[in-house]
């Protein structure tokens, strides 16, 4: 695949320079480190909310920094965790005395660095709590949810946590709502091609022509099954069957749906898939309270998509329904 | 015995040299069961650690060791970089305020280093990880110090030899974590690259004196 870039090793820094230039009224960085990304519209007194993770997933992670969502984000190299020090620097900047909630994906490297960052800011008396996104149904069986990877469904977790923090709730309460959202969302992804990491220029796994991998992770982690390429309808049937069974969605339930592209799949195809999502939900008499299609957690140039479903109750609806606005994402208030 | 600031500078520079000298070997081992970047990250990380150690101007050796750990973790936030950084950070906390280190303090270093890595990575001894070099080294140092060994050359040699036996033992261990687990069938008879990193750390201690 042909790409537009300069020096591969400057991929992340070049990208960040572009983002800071484009959104100079909205975001900036601290400690002279472009990878310590923070909002310019910090709201004093509220719980600080941040995430962090590897580059290569835009708009995840930094794209969720903005009004009604996150206050900051520590950015790693492509598919690499940011350092504990970078996380600690963002933490110190966004804390305004009410503590900081970390919401990030359930990956070993990220967990270690967020835990170490918490120890580093302990000296500054900043209280931190952690919520680890673990929505990927394909990555571990039911009953072992804490082993699952975090993927696109983290959008809902961050959205609800952001609204709770904006409502000036205390740290423990924001964490409880984030954890509740996290426990209510499931995602299933499929990949039709690998992705190429700019620094080494190679795909670190393979998806053969005419095949697809069901359940593949956003860094190319092995999925549950490789099969001949299915139609959009057949693919969605497979994905939703696993999500709805795992989430125990039943007739009369209300859900939110996120139709996510992995980077190389056009929006048209996402809506072709979403058509089937609504057919299945209608058939099961499950109503859709909110839906959004686009790219939320991508994987560079990977061709593929994921579906996330969040089961709602009145409390989650309250926090999901408020307006959110970042340089990358706009969600209108739901009336 | 007395380990001084200068000894610690010598130790961390030795460690950096060892990681450098074994860079290709570690890359080769890691390519078979991991990302293939271990040699690179350890070389870069320990170099940053050595620079932080040399630049440290105060006399609190615990803080110095803490700073070395922070520098390694900041330079290479990969799994192993964070783990090695965490070991130094924990050891630094254990030795806070010390202006020179005796035999018991060296044992504290070894034990806290092990605990720091264990707490961060949540593996157990026997899982075919760096812990399988760090734990035998800490145990052997504790035993020797309790039996009266007070010569730093002797004490660090005992720790290093125990770490090497630990590396040897990983050849017959089955991995349970990360990418090594996926490649477990290919690993019989091959030492764990993480454990080798642990042994190089103790090699550096042994060669400091």
Tens of pLDDT, residue by residue over A262-305, are: 999 999 999 999 999 999 999 999 999 999 999 999 999 999 99
pLDDT given for residue B198 in this prediction: 98
Nearest CA in chain A to B83: A112
Taking CB atoms and an 8 Å limit, are B77 and A115 in contact across chains? no
Q: What is the mean pLDDT of residues B86-98?
A: 95
- The closest CB to that of A113, out of B75, B77, B178, belongs to B77
Chain B contact present for A335, CB below 8 A: no
B79: nearest CB among A76, A83, A112: A112
Quick check: B197 contacting A, CB < 8 Å? no
Q: Does B120 touch chain A (CB under 8 A)?
A: yes
DSSP code for A300? T
Asked if B73's CB is within 8 angstroms of A85's CB, the reply is: yes
Task: Flag whether pLDDT at B182 surpasses 80.
Answer: no
pLDDT at B158: 98
Which of chain B's residues have a Cβ under 8 Å away from the Cβ of A85? 70, 73-74
B13: its two tokens: 């520079």
Q: What percent of chain A has pLDDT over 90?
A: 87
Among B95, B106, B107, which residue's Cα sits nearest to residue B139? Answer: B107
For B116, nearest residue in chain A (alpha carbons)? A116
ipTM score for this prediction: 0.73
Which residues lie below 8 Å from residue A248, measured CB to CB, with a gap of 6+? none
What are the distances in angstroms from CA B160 to CA A84, B164, B198, B208? 29, 6, 9, 12
Interface probe with B: pick from A113, A119, A223, most Cβ of B within 10 Å? A113
Q: Are A83 and B74 in contact (CB under 8 A)?
A: yes
Query: CA B79: distance to chain centroid?
Result: 14
Per the model's pLDDT, the better-predicted residue between B72 and B79 turns out to be B72
Q: Answer whether B77 sits within 8 Å of A108, measured CB to CB.
A: no
Do the beta carbons of residue B88 and residue B69 sit within 8 Å?
Answer: yes
Q: Tell me what the mean pLDDT of segment A12-29 comes to.
A: 98
Helix (H/G/I), strand (E/B), else coil: A135: coil
Task: Quickly state the pLDDT bin for B1 (edges 50, 70, 90).
Answer: confident
Least confident span in A57-61, A123-127, B75-79, B178-182: B178-182
Label residue A269 exposed, middle or buried (CB < 10 Å: 0-12, 13-18, 19+).
middle
The residues of A assigned a catalytic role are 57, 219
- Which of A113, A120, A222 comes nearest B82 by C-beta? A113
- Using a CB-CB cut-off of 8 Å, the residues of chain B touching A120 are 70
Model confidence pLDDT, tens digit, residues A216-255: 888 888 888 999 999 999 999 999 999 999 999 999 999 9
Give which of A13, A79, A143 is closest to A302, Cα–Cα: A79
Query: Tokens for A168?
Result: 């000036």
The pTM of the full predicted model, rounded to 2 decimals, is: 0.88
Q: How many CB atoms lie within 10 A of CB A173?
A: 14
Q: Does A193 touch chain B (CB under 8 A)?
A: no
CA distance B181 to chain A (A): 13
For residue A112, the chain B residue with the least C-alpha distance is: B120
Residue A189 has pLDDT above 80, yes or no: yes
**Mean pLDDT score of chain B, rounded to an integer?**
94
DSSP letters, A174-228, are: HHHHHHHHHHTEEEEEEESS--B-TTT-SBSS---TTEEEET--TT----SEEEE
Instruction: Provide the pLDDT for residue A232.
Output: 98
B152 Cα to chain A: minimum distance (Å) = 31
How many CB pairs lie under 8 A apart between chains A and B?
49
Instruction: Compare all CA atoms of chain B with the CA of A88 and give the residue at the minimum distance.
Output: B74
Contact A116 B85 (CB under 8 A): yes
Q: For residue B73, what are its two tokens?
A: 């973790």
Q: How far is A61 from chain B (nearest CA, A)?
A: 17
Burial class (CB in 10 A: 0-12, 13-18, 19+), A143: exposed
**Within an 8 Å CB–CB cutoff, is residue A80 touching chain B?**
yes
Token readout for B51 is 């620079």
Q: Is the pLDDT of residue B39 over 90?
A: no
Q: Judge whether A115 is closer than 8 Å to chain B, CB to CB.
A: yes
Question: What is the dihedral angle through the alpha carbons of A24, A27, A29, A34, rounded to the nearest 10 degrees?
Answer: -70
Considering only alpha carbons, which residue of chain A is nearest residue B84?
A112
- Say what the pLDDT of residue A35 is: 98
């Amino acid at each position: 695949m042909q790409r537009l870039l300069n020096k591969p090793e400057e991929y992340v820094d070049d990208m960040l320079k572009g983002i800071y230039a484009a959104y100079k009224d909205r975001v900036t960085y601290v400690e002279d480190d472009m990878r310590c990304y923070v909002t310019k519209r910090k709201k004093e007194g509220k719980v600080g909310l941040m995430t962090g993770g590897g580059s290569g997933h835009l708009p995840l992670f930094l794209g969720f920094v903005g009004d009604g969502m996150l206050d900051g984000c520590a950015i790693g190299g492509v598919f690499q965790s940011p350092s504990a020090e970078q996380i600690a620097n963002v933490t110190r900047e966004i804390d305004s005395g009410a503590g900081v909630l970390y919401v990030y994906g359930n990956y070993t490297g990220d967990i270690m660095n967020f835990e170490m960052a918490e120890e580093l800011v302990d000296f500054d008396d900043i209280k931190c709590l952690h919520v680890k996104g673990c929505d990927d149904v394909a990555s571990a069986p039911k009953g072992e949810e804490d082993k699952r990877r975090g993927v696109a469904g983290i959008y809902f977790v961050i959205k609800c946590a952001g609204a709770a923090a904006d409502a000036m709730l205390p740290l423990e309460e924001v964490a409880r709502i984030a954890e509740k959202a996290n426990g209510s969302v499931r995602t299933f992804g499929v990949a039709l091609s690998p992705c190429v990491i700019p620094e080494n220029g190679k795909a670190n796994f393979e998806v053969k022509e005419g095949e697809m991998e069901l359940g593949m992770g956003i860094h190319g982690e092995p999925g549950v099954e490789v099969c001949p390429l299915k139609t959009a309808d057949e693919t969605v049937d497979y994905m939703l069957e696993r999500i709805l069974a795992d989430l125990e969605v039943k007739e009369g339930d209300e859900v939110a749906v996120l139709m996510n592209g992995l980077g190389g799949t056009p929006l048209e195809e996402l809506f072709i898939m979403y058509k089937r999502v609504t057919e299945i939900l209608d058939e099961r008499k499950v109503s859709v309270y909110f839906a959004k299609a686009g790219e939320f957690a991508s994987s560079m140039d990977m061709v593929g998509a994921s579906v996330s479903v969040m089961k709602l109750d009145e409390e989650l609806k309250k926090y999901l329904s408020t307006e959110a606005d970042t340089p990358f994402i706009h969600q209108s208030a739901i009336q | 015995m007395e380990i001084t600031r200068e000894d610690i500078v010598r130790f961390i520079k030795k460690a950096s040299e060892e990681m450098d000298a074994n860079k290709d070997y570690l890359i080769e081992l890691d390519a078979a069961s991991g990302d293939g970047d271990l040699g690179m990250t350890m070389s870069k990380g320990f170099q940053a650690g050595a620079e932080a150690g040399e630049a440290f101007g105060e006399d609190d050796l615990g803080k110095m060791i803490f700073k070395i750990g922070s520098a390694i973790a900041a330079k290479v936030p990969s799994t192993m970089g964070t783990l090695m950084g965490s070991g130094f950070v924990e050891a630094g906390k254990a030795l806070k305020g010390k202006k020179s280190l005796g035999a018991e303090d060296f044992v504290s270093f070894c034990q806290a280093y092990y605990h720091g890595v264990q707490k961060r990575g949540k593996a157990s001894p026997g899982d075919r990880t760096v812990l399988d070099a760090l734990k035998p080294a800490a145990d052997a140092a504790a035993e020797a110090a309790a039996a009266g060994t007070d010569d730093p050359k002797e004490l660090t040699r005992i720790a290093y030899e125990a770490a090497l036996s630990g590396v040897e033992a990983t050849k017959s261990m089955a991995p349970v974590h990360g990418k090594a687990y996926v490649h477990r069938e290919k690993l019989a008879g091959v030492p764990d690259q993480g454990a080798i990193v642990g042994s190089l750390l103790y090699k550096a201690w042994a060669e400091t004196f």
